[in-house]
């Protein structure tokens, strides 16, 4: 037995601006990503996408391709291993001859090298039986339908009061349609996997946002016990939601490795990132607001139209934020879908809230103009003390503080309310504001904390650090719970050999994992105290599961809030638009690490600039495909587009949401940004753009 001690820190680790633990490894290039694990006798797989949008595969030139030196196998629906699923999912890879959308995986080549696999895949000839297709989302489509629920499990529609009657009697009414295009997640690291079979045991090195759910799905698909599957995802180069669930590539890697009986690696090309790994659905949103003479909202209606695929349903929760954002006795939200011959949409940073709040916050700005109220004052008059739908109190709601502090920092009092009132030479200058919100969630997680004889601690759980700084934040949380210095804590994550944990998504990663880490470390500290600091040579471990504690906690509405302020400059002659300043103030609970939190918030707002001014996936209606499927044509904000972005937060600690009092900051930064920029553009030019992105032809037409 050896003796170890915990020392009560005089300065908490939580709240310190601690640099990323893995930063040096990433700078040196020693941080290993999914595609980089060194394995002997590895083969390479290249996926082949369909060249039609709807129909059947009639034949392939597989036999000819197999004769190419270095080609190991050609997979298609005719010879691929059978999965425990045949249809109804994007993961039913090569299980049918049906083609549901253009560039769906219809074949794959496995070869000795990446170059051979790529060349052979390009030479593979596939013949199709082509069928008519539909790819365009229309508001008057007769095939729109009502889904049973919207992501992740919200009611599809809600209604209270007499919305139509309240709109007819309102002193002021706004009734407009807002549109957002399809957006494609483009993390720096594309999806990649290496699969290795040892008998009936499968190991996968995969780029994902949650190794535990990937393991569970792979076990189901291949008919294996969960314990026979190991998923390793130690470092991930971004995800933005696209890696939140297993994608076809990880299934294809496992299938190919099974067939050739050796390790197989596959990486999605940038072009394929626009095909079968998810995207944000385009939306058509009608927002109706009615207000009395004093600017108090009496009616809210938010009706949304979106698309899904013909093989799997995904309904984004676009109008859900409207249900709790502002007071109003009469309220209605609806969601309608159209099944099209397109890939299945999925999560992208702040699904639902991001496109939905663009429409709502644009409409609120238009209502402020109609009522001749300052946009901040209008929001404050309609800031509800309790949840407007349920009447339940919020765990905390500091939207007012965000608006007021943001106005002070931004210099809102100097704003000109009338459009085109401020100019700098030929540049028209305008300012705008929008509110933002995102749910504060937590899901059950497990974690294990170890005391080592040398006085160090290991904390292990299958969490994911997708570039957000989760390793560092969890180390800080563990250090405080142990009463130890952070340098004495080693964190293990991204491996299903560790304790099971939920995915990184929904701004709930740190909340969920930190909860489990806190309880595991508290339990270990108590055991050490009871043992008077004695530690066996093998170490002393405590594993916890927060499931029961989370379920016992009473349910109340828990949300983070924020306010984004934008200043834009528009060239009066050319319509060129520039964001000169962007400032956000947020109430997101206790900030675990100011350095990484600020990075997340600024990153979200930067993506919001892209959404407002640049991003759009352009559909080719003739071929049913997206035209701009690379980063040369799919435009995102670069350093030149982001001159000044500031993120601040309110001093808030919400002990109801989790033991750390933190709410999560990964997604709220993007939520209100596009609306703030659109509102500022109207203030500068007097032109209201309701269909994103805001481009010069929409300002000078």
Residue 70 lies in a domain: no
| Cβ atoms < 10 Å from Cβ of 697 | 7
Q: How far apart are CA 356 and CA 692, in angstroms?
A: 13
Q: How far apart are CA 209 and CA 239, in angstroms?
A: 7
Residues 678 and 580 in one domain: yes
Residues 415 and 487 in one domain: no
Tokens describing residue 391? 């009447």
Residues 694 and 593 in one domain: yes
Active-site pick, 112, 115, 667, 697: 667
569, 580 contact by CB (below 8 A): yes
Q: Is 667 a catalytic residue?
A: yes
DSSP conformation letters of 321-374: THHHHS--SEEEEEEEEEEESSPPP---SSTTHHHHHHHHHHHHHHHHHHHT--
Q: How far apart are CA 91 and CA 234, in angstroms?
A: 23
347, 277 contact by CB (below 8 A): no
Residue 38 lies in a domain: no
Residue 123 lies in a domain: no
Predicted local confidence at residue 4, as pLDDT:
60
Residue 512 lies in a domain: yes
Predicted local confidence at residue 85, as pLDDT:
85
Residues 364 and 463 in one domain: no
Q: Taking every pair of C-alpha atoms in the chain, what is the biggest distance, in angstroms?
A: 80
Residues 544 and 672 in one domain: no
CATH number at residue 659: 3.30.365.10
Write out residues in the chain with pLDDT < 70, as ranges. Answer: 1-10, 86, 554
Residue 323 lies in a domain: yes
Residues 544 and 577 in one domain: no
Q: How far apart are CA 75 and CA 33, in angstroms?
A: 26
Residues 483 and 616 in one domain: no
Residues 671 and 592 in one domain: yes
CA–centroid distance for 396 within its chain: 24
If one counts the domains in the chain, the total is 2
Residues 518 and 586 in one domain: no
Q: How far apart are CA 336 and CA 343, in angstroms?
A: 18
Predicted local confidence at residue 374, as pLDDT:
98
Domain of 658 in residue numbering reads as 149-183+280-440+558-699
pLDDT digits (tens, 9 = 90+) for 460-477: 999 999 999 999 999 999
pLDDT digits (tens, 9 = 90+) for 538-554: 899 999 999 999 998 86
Residue 240 lies in a domain: no
DSSP conformation letters of 175-217: EEEEEE-BB----SSPPEEEEEEETTEEEEEE--S-HHHHHHH
Residues 286 and 432 in one domain: yes
pLDDT digits (tens, 9 = 90+) for 151-196: 999 999 999 999 999 999 999 999 999 999 999 999 999 999 999 9
Residues 323 and 401 in one domain: yes
Residue 450 lies in a domain: yes
58, 128 contact by CB (below 8 A): yes
Residues 328 and 405 in one domain: yes
Residue 344 lies in a domain: yes
């Amino acid at each position: 037995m050896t003796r170890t001690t915990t020392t009560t820190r005089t300065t908490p680790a939580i709240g310190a601006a601690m640099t990323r633990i893995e930063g040096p490894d990433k700078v040196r290039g020693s941080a290993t990503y999914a595609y980089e694990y060194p394995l002997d006798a590895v083969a390479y797989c290249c996926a082949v996408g369909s060249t039609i949008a709807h129909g059947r595969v009639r034949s392939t030139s597989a036999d000819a391709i197999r004769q190419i030196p270095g080609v190991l196998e050609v997979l298609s629906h005719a010879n691929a291993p059978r999965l425990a699923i045949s249809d109804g999912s994007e993961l039913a890879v090569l299980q049918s001859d049906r083609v549901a959308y253009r560039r769906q995986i219809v074949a794959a080549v496995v070869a000795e090298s990446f170059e051979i696999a790529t060349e052979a895949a390009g030479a593979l000839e596939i013949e199709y039986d082509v069928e008519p297709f539909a790819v365009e989302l229309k508001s008057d489509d007769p095939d729109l339908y009502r889904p049973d629920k919207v992501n992740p499990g919200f009611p599809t529609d809600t209604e209270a009061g007499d919305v139509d009657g309240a709109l007819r009697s309102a002193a002021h009414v706004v009734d407009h349609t807002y549109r957002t295009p399809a957006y494609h997640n483009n993390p720096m690291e594309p999806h990649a996997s290496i699969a290795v079979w040892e008998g009936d045991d499968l190991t996968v090195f995969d780029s994902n946002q949650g190794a535990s759910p990937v393991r569970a799905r792979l076990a189901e698909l291949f008919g294996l016990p969960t314990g026979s599957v190991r998923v390793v995802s130690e470092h991930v180069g971004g995800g933005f939601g696209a890696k939140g669930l297993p994608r076809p590539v990880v299934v294809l890697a496992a299938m190919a490795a099974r067939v050739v009986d050796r390790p197989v690696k596959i990486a999605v090309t940038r072009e394929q990132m626009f095909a079968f790994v998810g995207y944000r659905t385009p939306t058509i949103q009608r927002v109706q607001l009615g207000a009395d003479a004093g600017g108090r909202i009496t009616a809210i209606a938010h009706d949304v139209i979106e698309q899904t695929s013909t093989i799997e349903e995904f309904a984004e929760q676009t109008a859900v934020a409207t249900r709790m954002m502002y007071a109003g006795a009469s309220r209605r939200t609806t969601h309608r879908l159209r099944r099209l011959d397109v890939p299945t949409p999925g999560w992208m940073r702040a699904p639902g809230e991001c496109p939905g709040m663009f429409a709502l916050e644009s409409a609120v700005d238009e209502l402020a103009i109609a009522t001749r109220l300052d946009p901040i004052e209008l929001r404050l008059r309609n800031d509800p003390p309790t949840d407007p739908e349920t009447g339940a109190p919020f765990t905390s709601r500091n939207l007012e503080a965000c608006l007021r502090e943001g106005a002070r920092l931004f210099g809102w009092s100097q704003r000109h309310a009338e459009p085109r009132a401020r100019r700098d030479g030929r540049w028209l200058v305008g300012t705008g504001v929008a509110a933002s919100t995102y749910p504060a969630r937590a899901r059950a997680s497990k974690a294990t904390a170890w005391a080592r004889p040398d006085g160090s601690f290991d904390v292990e759980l299958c969490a994911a650090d997708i570039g957000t700084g989760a390793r560092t934040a969890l180390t800080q949380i563990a250090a405080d719970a142990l009463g130890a210095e952070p340098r004495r804590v080693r964190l293990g994550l991204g491996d299903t050999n560790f304790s099971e944990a939920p995915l990184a998504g929904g701004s709930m990663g740190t909340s969920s994992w930190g909860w489990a880490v806190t309880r595991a470390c508290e339990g270990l500290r108590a055991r050490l105290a009871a043992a008077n600091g004695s530690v066996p040579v093998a170490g002393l471990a405590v594993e916890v599961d927060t499931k029961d504690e989370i379920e016992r906690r009473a349910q109340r509405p828990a949300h983070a809030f924020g306010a984004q302020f934008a200043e834009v400059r528009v060239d009066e002659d050319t319509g060129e638009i520039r964001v000169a300043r962007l400032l956000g103030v947020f109430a997101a609970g206790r900030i675990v690490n100011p350095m990484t939190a600020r990075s997340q918030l600024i990153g979200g707002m930067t993506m919001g600039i892209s959404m407002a001014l640049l991003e759009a996936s352009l559909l080719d209606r003739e071929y049913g495909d997206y035209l701009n499927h690379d980063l040369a044509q799919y435009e995102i904000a670069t350093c030149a587009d982001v001159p000044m972005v500031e993120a601040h937060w309110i001093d808030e600690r919400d002990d109801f949401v989790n033991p750390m009092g933190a709410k999560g900051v990964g997604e709220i930064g993007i939520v209100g940004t596009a609306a703030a920029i659109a509102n500022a553009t109207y203030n500068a030019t007097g032109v209201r753009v309701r269909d994103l992105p805001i481009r010069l032809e929409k300002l000078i037409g």
